[in-house]
Amino acid sequence: MDSIRIRGGRPLEGEIEIFGAKNAALPLMAASLLTEETLTLSNIPHLTDITTLAHLLAQHGVEIGMDGNARRGGNAGRVLSLRAREITDTTAPYELVCRMRASILVLGPLLARVGQATVSLPGGCAIGTRPVDMHIDGLARLGAEILLEDGYIRARVRGRLRGAEIRLPFASVGATENLLMAATLADGETVIRNAAREPEVVDLALCLKAMGAEIGGIGSDELVIRGKEALSGTEHDVVGDRIEAGTYALAAAIVGGDVELAGAPAPSLRALLDYLASAGVAVSETPRGLRVRGNGRPVAADVTTQPYPGFPTDLQAQAMALMAVADGAAVITETIFENRFMHVQELRRMGADITVRGPAALVRGVDALTGAQVMATDLRASSSLVLAGLAAEGETVVHRVYHLDRGYERIEDKLAACGAEIDRVPH
d(CA 282, CA 115): 52
Residue 413 has φ and ψ, to the nearest 5°, of: -70, -40
Does 364 contact ligand UD1 by CB under 6 A? Answer: no
d(CA 166, CA 191): 6
b/e per residue 216-251 (b: at least 16 CB within 10 A): ebbeeeebbbebbeebebbebbbbbbbbbbbbbbbb
Give the residue with the Cβ less far from ligand UD1, 102 or 350.
102
Which residues belong to the active site?
125
Does 322 contact ligand UD1 by CB under 6 A? Answer: no
Q: Write the DSSP assignment of 240-275 as a string of letters.
A: B-HHHHHHHHHHHHHH-EEEEEET--GGGGHHHHHH
Does 167 contact ligand UD1 by CB under 6 A? Answer: no
Smallest distance, Å, CB 322 to ligand UD1? 19
Does 272 contact ligand UD1 by CB under 6 A? Answer: no
d(CA 270, CA 181): 28
Smallest distance, Å, CB 24 to ligand UD1? 8
Smallest distance, Å, CB 161 to ligand UD1? 18
Sign for the pseudo-dihedral over CA of 246, 247, 248, 250? positive
Strands 152-156 and 116-120: antiparallel
Give the residue with the Cβ less far from ligand UD1, 56 or 281.
56
Q: Please, which of residues 367-426 interact with ligand UD1 by CB under 6 A? A: none
Q: Please, which of residues 100-159 interact with ligand UD1 by CB under 6 A? A: 101-102, 128, 130-135
Smallest distance, Å, CB 264 to ligand UD1? 18
Per-residue x/- mask for ligand UD1, residues 21 to 60, rule CB under 6 A?
A: --x--x----------------------------------
d(CA 254, CA 358): 26
Number of amino acids touching ligand UD1 (CB under 6 A):
21
Give the residue with the Cβ less far from ligand UD1, 239 or 391.
239
Strand segments (E) across 140-180: 145-149, 152-156, 165-167
Smallest distance, Å, CB 168 to ligand UD1? 8
Does 337 contact ligand UD1 by CB under 6 A? Answer: yes
The residues binding ligand UD1 (CB under 6 A) are: 23, 26, 101-102, 128, 130-135, 170, 172-175, 200, 313-314, 336-337
